[in-house]
Amino acid sequence: MNHVHLIGRLGADPLSTPYASDLGRDDPKILVRFDLAVGAASSRKAEETPPIWVPIVLFDGQPARFAAEHLTKGDLVALSGRLDLRRWTDEDGRAIRRLQVIASELRKLTPRRSPDDEGADPPPEDDISATNVVPLSHERTQRRERLQ
């Protein structure tokens, strides 16, 4: 089973790139990329352990469009998806391999900023309580129950 759940902060604003649809539609699809800083699981103090940077990719769909329009550097997000091994050959003929996460679900955990907060730093990760984090699968179950 290949399934990943991550919570972390964006290292930079998401980079979105349109690409042509292979279904013959006129509307371009969107590819969104960003790096996510996640805390390393360690017995050492958190400030002594550098974050692990995970490359995230979102293909066309609601999560990708949401990320492109609403996420910025420093936002705290929860996501789920699958690991993917990307392989290519560079200009020198060397084989390159890189792990990335292909995200299928995304949830912004950073509260909306008011106009007064413009330019303010996001709250430190320690200020975000565990009660704010709802497992994505639990959220989906609640949505189904409301629809029935």
pLDDT in tens, 23-75: 556 667 889 999 999 987 655 665 678 889 999 999 878 889 899 999 999 99
Higher pLDDT, residue 117 or 90 = 90
CATH superfamily of domain region 4-147: Nucleic acid-binding proteins (2.40.50.140)
The terminus-to-terminus CA distance of the chain in angstroms comes to 30
Q: Which residue has the higher pLDDT, 128 or 91?
A: 91
Is the confidence at residue 148, as pLDDT, over 80?
no
Pair type for strands 95-108 and 52-58: parallel
Residue 115 has pLDDT above 80, yes or no: no
Average pLDDT of the residues in 95-99 = 93
